Amino acid sequence: MATYDLVVIGTGPGGYVCAVRASQLGMKAAVVEKNATLGGTCLNVGCMPSKALLYASEMFEEAGHSFAKMGVSVSAPKLDLPSMMNFKQQGIDGNVKGVEFLMKKNKIDVLKGTGKILGTGKVEISADGKSQVVETRSIVIATGSDIARLKGIEIDETRIVSSTGALSLDKVPGKLLIVGAGVIGLELGSVWHRLGAEVVVVEFLDRILPGMDGEIAKQFQRILEKQGFAFKLGAKVTGVDTSGKMLKARVEPAAGGAAETLEADVVLVCIGRAPYTDGLGLKEAGVALDNRGRVQIDPHFATSVKGVYAIGDVVAGPMLAHKAEDEGVAVAEIIAGQAGHVNYDVIPGVVYTTPEVSCVGKTEEELKQAGVAYTVGKFPFTANGRSKVNQTTDGFVKILADAKTDRVLGVHIIGREAGEMIHEAAVLMEFGGSAEDLARTCHAHPTRSEAIKEAALAVGKRAIHM
Ligand code: FAD
Ligand code: NAI
């Protein structure tokens, strides 16, 4: 029987990163993966394919709508969807190969099959009707999440799709109905809208992007509407009739009232994701779940069974690849006897649309609810030189700082490249920095990041360019 110091179940960004860190710390590690390829949701049907399509569709959109005003004259771009899908697949393959390389480089065994925990120190791996059992000092559950389903609406991944089907449509839908105005709905909605689909988003709440700063979400909704998105807020889809050529979705006000019917070629259901624990044998092994079906852990990622830990989408917290990765590193360090730690107050979030939306730390709503006195500094990209010359002035930077100490508590950006810009705020917040620190840091000119410095100056009511 093979013996290991650590067996990680799942090779998403949480699992494979955990195994690499464990190997760096001198542990003999193995990963277990039931899918044909390594990399989990993120590499295969999540972050990577969606970003490839977002990039390619943005280029299509730019070629069709932005080149001419810069004096670049091209004929109307034509969509070659199979080639775009091939571009996406190349990106997936390259990243999956990268993970395979990392496993080899770090001498991590890859055990293909479904992992089941038999109790402390024992994992059974089954594939193609055969199984083997390995012994290990520690086990990390990194089995991620799966799509959440809507009762009574069957996802066939062709006409009624989850994000997985929406990443592989074989033609641009004439009408795309999206259920859920969260990150997936707005990102994949952007992809297909840019490629020509008419997009209607039905959202249960009275706002888009719940959890993000309200003011940012409002402005983002206006920008998306200007682009051509239609929103039905405070509404829910209660059924989809698939009998005709067009799908007929029954849409009801969330608060009750008369239903309406919306036609669509494709319906995308993206109402969140659910922790994935099927086949792990958690009940028999005695691993406790919380009331939302997530593996329950203590602050050191330990489950209710000795030597069994859990990280990533399968535990509480934001379902983000970088959160899973940081937890993977932290738990490997804890198992090695070190002080692994994740600062949940400083986890950036990015929506990779055009413009992008990014955030780190608290929203205004959260500060109000916690009764924290804060000051706000805002700076619009319309007043940022680089944005003006590029004619990409949508959006603004918003900084929330403690009214007494000036410590930065939250930064929210809507604008081009906001996803890259957020990290100077994250570093500042990791070091407990103030708006004054940010305002006195020299920023290169002309950059979009100068808008962050100006927003920090605006906290002290002394922005220069506004
Ligand atoms: P996963 O990546 O889900 O990996 C879990 C792995 O475990 C899978 O490979 C699965 O096959 C395997 N597994 C499960 N059970 C077993 C078992 N019993 N035995 C063996 N193997 C098993 N996050 C971002 O931060 N940025 C983004 O841009 C982003 N975009 C996304 C776009 C989409 C369309 C989706 C769906 C998600 C996106 N996410 C994004 C979220 C991100 O993909 C997840 O947060 C991340 O993948 C979680 O990592 P994980 O390691 O916890 O689990
Ligand atoms: P989400 O939680 O972001 O959004 C789901 C939306 O659906 C919410 O606005 C919710 O109010 C709404 N909703 C729920 N039930 C509904 C109903 N019956 N009818 C209408 N609306 C309903 O979930 P989403 O977009 O599915 O994404 C899943 C996860 O994947 C997220 O947690 C996200 O963090 C992650 N992800 C991250 C990305 C990124 O970081 N850029 C990109 C894509 C996904």
> For residue range 152-209, what is the model confidence (pLDDT) as tens digits?
999 999 999 999 999 999 999 999 999 999 999 999 999 999 999 999 999 999 999 9
Burial 36-68 (b: 16+ CB within 10 A, else e): ebbbbbbbbbbbbbbebbbebbbebbebbeeee
Residues of the chain with pLDDT > 70, as a percent, come to: 100
Residue 31 has pLDDT above 90, yes or no: yes
Q: Whose CA is nearest to atom 41 of ligand 2?
A: 351
The contacts found for 161-165 with CB under 8 angstroms, 24 or more apart, are 161/266, 161/267, 161/268, 161/269, 162/268, 162/269, 162/270, 163/45, 163/46, 163/50, 163/188, 163/268, 163/270, 164/45, 165/268
Residues 325 and 353 in one domain: no
Residues 78 and 143 in one domain: yes
* pTM, full prediction: 0.98
Domain ranges, residue 209: 160-271
> For residue range 105-139, what is the model confidence (pLDDT) as tens digits?
999 999 999 999 999 999 999 999 999 999 999 99
Q: Point out the domain boundary residue: 271, 304, 319.
A: 271
Residues 187 and 236 in one domain: yes
> For residue range 398-424, what is the model confidence (pLDDT) as tens digits?
999 999 999 999 999 999 999 999 999
Residues 278 and 139 in one domain: yes
Residues 278 and 267 in one domain: no
Count of domains forming the chain = 3
Residues 138 and 279 in one domain: yes
Query: DSSP labels for 197-245?
Result: -EEEEEESSSSSSTTS-HHHHHHHHHHHHHHT-EEEESEEEEEEE-SSS
Residue 153 lies in a domain: no
Residue 206 lies in a domain: yes
Task: List, by residue number, the catalytic residues.
Answer: 445
Residues 142 and 165 in one domain: no
Ligand 1: centre distance to CA 395 (Å) = 30
* Index of the ligand 1 atom closest to the CA of residue 10: 7
Residues 22 and 136 in one domain: yes
> For residue range 260-290, what is the model confidence (pLDDT) as tens digits?
999 999 999 999 999 999 999 999 999 999 9
Task: Name the nearest CA neighbour of 2 among 37, 36, 31.
Answer: 31
- CATH assignment of the domain containing 381: 3.30.390.30
Residue 152 lies in a domain: no
Residue 292 lies in a domain: yes
Residues 141 and 8 in one domain: yes
The enclosing H or E element of 6 equals strand 3-9
Q: Whose CA is nearest to atom 26 of ligand 1?
A: 47
In the predicted model, what is the mean pLDDT of residues 349-362? 98
Residue 336 has pLDDT above 90, yes or no: yes
Q: Round the CA-based radius of gyration of the chain to a whole number and report it.
A: 24
Confidence of residue 213 (pLDDT cuts 50, 70, 90): very high
Residues 49 and 118 in one domain: yes
Ligand 1 environment, Cβ below 6 A: 9-15, 32-35, 40-42, 46-47, 50, 114-115, 142-145, 163, 184, 276, 279-280, 312-313, 319-322, 324, 352
Ligand 1: centre distance to CA 148 (Å) = 13
In the predicted model, what is the mean pLDDT of residues 44-48? 98
Residue 437 has pLDDT above 90, yes or no: yes
- Can you tell me which residue has the tokens 């807020």? 233
Strand 266-269: give its sheet, edge to edge: 160-161, 266-269, 175-179, 198-203, 230-233
Q: Whose CA is nearest to atom 15 of ligand 2?
A: 271
Q: Whose CA is nearest to atom 37 of ligand 1?
A: 46
Q: Which residues pair with 266 in a beta bridge?
A: 176
Q: Point out the domain boundary residue: 236, 251, 271.
A: 271
- What is the model's pLDDT at position 262? 98
Residue 379 lies in a domain: yes
> For residue range 323-333, what is the model confidence (pLDDT) as tens digits?
999 999 999 99
CA dist 420 and 119 (Å) reads 43
- What is the model's pLDDT at position 62? 96
CA dist 99 and 312 (Å) reads 17
| Total Cβ atoms within 10 A of residue 75 | 6
Residue 1 has pLDDT above 90, yes or no: no
> For residue range 48-69, what is the model confidence (pLDDT) as tens digits?
999 999 999 999 999 999 999 9
- Can you tell me which residue has the tokens 């500042």? 428
Residues 258 and 368 in one domain: no
**CB of residue 271 inside a 6 A radius of ligand 2:** yes
- CATH assignment of the domain containing 191: 3.50.50.60
Residue 211 lies in a domain: yes
Q: Point out the domain boundary residue: 271, 296, 325.
A: 271
Residue 241 lies in a domain: yes
Task: Name the nearest CA neighbour of 325 among 8, 6, 7, 4.
Answer: 8
In the predicted model, what is the mean pLDDT of residues 358-368? 98
CA dist 102 and 42 (Å) reads 16
CA triple 431-433-435, angle to 5 deg: 160
Residue 342 lies in a domain: no
Average pLDDT taken over every residue of the chain: 98
Residue 2 has pLDDT above 90, yes or no: no
CA dist 462 and 466 (Å) reads 9
Residues of the chain with pLDDT > 90, as a percent, come to: 100
Residues 196 and 139 in one domain: no
| Total Cβ atoms within 10 A of residue 283 | 10
Ligand 2: centre distance to CA 209 (Å) = 8
In the predicted model, what is the mean pLDDT of residues 220-245? 98
